[in-house]
Amino acid sequence: MKSLKQLAFLILSLLFIISCDDDDPTTLSSDPTENAANKQPLGTSANELLSSDEFTSLRVEIAYPEGFRPTDSTIELLIPFLEERLNKPDGITLVESTITTNTEGPYDINDIVAIEDANRSVFNNGDEMGVWLFFSDESSEGDSDNSVVLGTAYRNTSMVIYEKTFLELANNSTTAISRTLIETSTIRHEFGHIFGLVNGGTPLTSDHHDEENGRHCSVEDCLMYFQTVTTIFNTSNTASLPDFDALCIQDLQANGGL
């Protein structure tokens, strides 16, 4: 478990590093044949998400245990972000689900998959695509003494945000930390992965893949850089949130996005 001393060090450094895993447990499912289209490898549905060729709308299920709901502002910022990049002429909608988890943390990816399989209710349906966005009541087993995992995109339409870690950062800080800023930055980064970035389902149109750090961008101020850094003391300014750089946007547009 992350100690208060370690949390304080992260906060006093004035910088926040978004860390994510590139897990892909496509074989981990209670029933891999049921809703199989939503249980594929990470990045394989990038074109389906970005374009309107097969799916003309998107529904995102925001799931969380009681007490771990993201902020209202985080939820309000999600649709505009998606509308800017996804070609979904019939619209993007959100549905919230309060769920119960019965597993002790910290969670490994097998725990996350089991929670999804037991609780997910939104899947691909006709020309509407479904995405699962889980806000976890436990931290990641991947946390270490000098870093924390904030989010993981692990299937073609699935991701987890470690909300417990965000709450610990905010509650144990002596300075004001905006949960909205760190939640939103992490969500956008993980959506980038299910959009197929970088070189993980969406083909490259230029050489900007940081191969040493997995599916990340070599441009340091890009949302998809492996260490996405934001300034904690500028937490109220959502305009300062990192965004896709021009090279990532070119990739997305070439694969059907906006």
Q: What class does CATH assign to 4-28+37-254?
A: alpha beta
pLDDT of residue 194: 97
- The tens-digit pLDDT sequence of the chain (258 residues) is 333 334 333 433 434 455 676 545 454 555 667 899 999 999 999 999 999 999 999 999 999 999 999 999 999 999 999 999 999 999 999 999 999 999 999 999 999 999 999 999 999 999 999 999 999 999 999 888 777 889 999 999 999 999 999 898 878 765 667 788 889 999 999 999 999 999 999 999 999 999 999 999 999 989 999 887 544 444 457 788 889 999 999 999 999 999
pLDDT of residue 174: 57
Rounded distance between C-alpha atoms, residue 230 and residue 111, angstroms:
29
pLDDT of residue 224: 94
Q: How crowded is residue 15: how many other Cβ atoms within 10 Å of its Cβ?
A: 12
Sheet with strand 20-21: strands edge to edge:
20-21, 151-155, 158-161, 128-135, 57-65, 92-99
Cβ pair 20, 152 in contact under 8 A = yes
pLDDT of residue 62: 98
Rounded distance between C-alpha atoms, residue 115 and residue 136, angstroms:
10
Strands (E), the chain: 15-18, 20-21, 57-65, 92-99, 128-135, 151-155, 158-161, 228-231
Rounded distance between C-alpha atoms, residue 230 and residue 19, angstroms:
12
pLDDT of residue 175: 60
Cβ pair 212, 225 in contact under 8 A = no
pLDDT of residue 14: 37
- Phi first, then psi, for residue 85 (nearest 5°) are -120, -20
Rounded distance between C-alpha atoms, residue 62 and residue 65, angstroms:
10
pLDDT of residue 22: 56
- Write out pLDDT tens, residues 56-65: 999 999 999 9
